[in-house]
Amino acid sequence: NKAPVVSALVYRTVRKTPFVIADIPVITRSGVTYFIDVVLRPQRIVGILAQGLPDGWIAGVVGRDGRLIARNTQQDRYVGTVNQAFFDRATRPEGIWSGTTREGFSVAGAYIRSPLSGWIVSVAVPESILHAPAKSALAWLGGLSAAALAVSLWLGWRLSRRISSPMRDLVSRARELGEGHLPAASRSRVAEVNDVTEALLAASVELDRRAAAAQRAADTVRANEERLQLAQDTAGIGTVDWDIATGRAVCSPRFYEMFSLPPESPVQFSDILERVHPAE
């Protein structure tokens, strides 16, 4: 096999230190002559994931075997563990998912699988943030809609430049070495995981739509209540709701006035009947 190979998470036998390996074949006219091995500690990837995310967001990299390689929160606690529910659902090259984190709280997010390494890069947002009160959520989502594209573009570019592009650049340098040329010193600037942007944008649009629908429903209920109250105040009408099972009556302020009852005092329906003339 003449293609580069990127490992899943492995451990040193003595210190149990986690790391990943990239093997790049050096190809000459006679075939594969030798390999260049690149050893990368997960903590280097954590440094990339931790930059630029809003508070409370979770970003992670999972190996093709499902084990966690890097995570922007609680890396030391969860490295090497498997979130089986997420891994079972992340079967496509990219997608949107919702489920439970390793800590046990609900999240929604997006993921993309690298065609080179088979790693899965994911970004998730806790539902406690998504389900904030309607007014706060609308203000928050207004800024998020504009910032989500920039954040995901930047994150995708950083991940690609630090992981995928340098490996591809090493392949080119190895081929130059195998052909007898002096490898050129260069830095890769190519981003190839920008598809994360589209997935996050789709999630942001869907969240914006849900928040707007919730706000419209709340506005409709509030407007109906205001119209009913206005009609009652204008006509001088008092209202009472009778709970037949308990005999309890829930009265409007005007009703308390009409029947000379203490405001907001507990009232039984029998108390009201005692104040009504028998002829009525």
Q: What pLDDT digit, counting tens, does each position of 193-211 carry?
A: 344 444 444 545 565 678 7
In the prediction, which pLDDT does 28 show? Answer: 79
The three-state DSSP-derived secondary structure of the chain is CCCCEECCCEECCCCCCEEEEEEEEEEECCEEEEEEEEEECHHHHHHHHCCCCCCCCEEEEECCCCEEEEECCCHHHHCCCECHHHHHHCCCCEEEEEEECCCCCEEEEEEEECCCCCCEEEEEEEHHHHCCCHHHHHHHHHHHHHHHHHHHHHHHHHHHHHHHHHHHHHHHHHHHHHCCCCCCCCCCCCCCCCHHHHHHHHHHHHHHHHHHHHHHHHHHHHHHHHHHHHHHHHHCCCCEEEECCCCEEEECHHHHHHCCCCCCCCEEHHHHHHCCCCCC
For the chain, the average pLDDT equals 76
Residue 6: pLDDT over 70: yes
Query: Which tens digits make up the pLDDT trace of 156-177?
Result: 455 555 665 555 565 565 555 5
